[in-house]
Homo-oligomer: A and B are copies of this chain.
């Protein structure tokens, strides 16, 4: 119509039915016909660019989002204006679940790179989940999973030292990439060192120093955003704190 060889967005519209992420995402455990019903309420978006907001703190909550390609960070703004990063989100991950309670967003979400996102209007999803028990169950499970995630964060920030935190972070990314079919040992960090430090509760300088040290001892290979994990087993040990000089265990006493 308008131009030559312009592929209309509609043409590349992907449906849940043939989306490679469906095993990680909401359609998991739904029958094919239910997936089609789910698909009918989902809207696919134009690509977002690095720095674009998916939504901002305080905005009314209308829909959940699923990252399709790329990555997203969620953060909340402190009283002093600085931000506190809540998480990094890879393809297949649902964002916005914390907004259901109050019907408005409690944090902001921003694309870390060129990113595709699906929108799921929550009121429609809720109605649909009322008709499809397995969808309801799946939603309960996804919400529950998110709650279970808190445990890991508490471990990370409550008792781990800086080395263990970064090791844990790298292992977590590695496993998430792996389950998405990417390399578990060779990947790019879409977030800055500032973001990593903020997320892990450490100063940027500390992140930088640990990257350097991990590289010196042959644990990893880093060049800017590009990371290679050279000794996954050892890195996992470090992440669990099982490595050499048994580290400080803040407030670790039990009873």
Interface residues of A (CB under 8 A from B): 76, 78-80, 82-84, 86, 97-102, 106-107, 126, 129-130, 133, 136-137, 139-151, 153-155, 157-159, 192, 194-195, 197-204, 206, 240-242, 249-255
Contacts and interface: CB of A to CB of B under 8 A. Distances in A.
A124 to B, nearest CB: 14
Contact of A143 (B79, B84, B102, B143): B143
Contacts of A143: 97, 100, 140, 143-144, 147
A232 to B, nearest CB: 18
* Copies assembled: 2
Contact of A82 (B107, B141, B150, B252): B252
Residue of A83, A106, A146, A202 most packed against chain B (CB within 10 A): A146
A99 to B, nearest CB: 7
A130 B155 CA distance: 35
A251 B200 contact: yes
A253 B148 contact: no
Contacts of A102: 148
Contacts of A254: 82-83, 194, 198
A148 B74 CA distance: 12
